[in-house]
Amino acid sequence: MQQEIHSQTDTAPIGLATVDGVPVDATETLLTFRMDGERFAIAVGAVAEIIDPQRTTRVPNSGSLAPSLLNVRGTIVPLIDLRHRLGMESGERLHSSRLLVIEIAIDGELTKIAIMADAVEDVIDAATAEVEPIPDLGVRWPTECFRGAIKHKGDLIILLEETFSFLDTRGSDAAL
């Protein structure tokens, strides 16, 4: 099964929260998903596709950031263990689990990565101005991974840092 994300709101400016320091009414379209009971969101524009879990191949001696890889339509894509990067326990594969294939530029190089979500939930429009710093209860997580949090229908949604620059393999222990 494959779900296409219809990003009809692709034109929504992302990251243009202010003009001359004055907040404007910018909204951005986010894809929300669940991991370990928490709700996360990333910009829809970064998501290339959402696919059912597939057989992955473990990469010996590759470290904990990207311990395995898989074939997405003929391209070899690393499966990033986002749970490990965010300091979460590793999880079971659920019936609702999906792979998010995300295209990001790392160090100027366009790279596809896959992350496993427990469930893909919704596409929402959020006002950029409403992005708040992560509340105190969230400090157990590495803050460089997040842009902030928004409240949506009474629920707290954590925005992943949109360039995923926290995955950069240079200078970190990531590749070890």
The Cα 14–Cα 18 span in angstroms is 11
DSSP string, 57-83: EE-TT--SSS-EEEEETTEEEEEE-HH
- Closest contact distance (angstroms) between CB of 86 and other proteins is 17
- Closest contact distance (angstroms) between CB of 135 and other proteins is 31
Instruction: Give φ, ψ of 131 to 5 degrees.
Output: -70, 125
DSSP string, 2-14: EE----TTTTS-S
**Which single residue is written with the structure tokens 């294939």?**
101
- For other proteins, the closer of residues 51 and 156 by Cβ is 51
- Closest contact distance (angstroms) between CB of 75 and other proteins is 7
- For other proteins, the closer of residues 75 and 96 by Cβ is 75
- For other proteins, the closer of residues 94 and 175 by Cβ is 175
Instruction: Give φ, ψ of 12 to 5 degrees.
Output: -60, 130
- For other proteins, the closer of residues 153 and 170 by Cβ is 170
- Closest contact distance (angstroms) between CB of 67 and other proteins is 10
Which residues are near other proteins by CB under 8 A?
54-62, 65-66, 69-71, 74-78, 80, 106-107, 109, 111-113, 167, 169, 174-175
DSSP string, 110-131: EEEEEEEESEEEEEEEEEGGG-
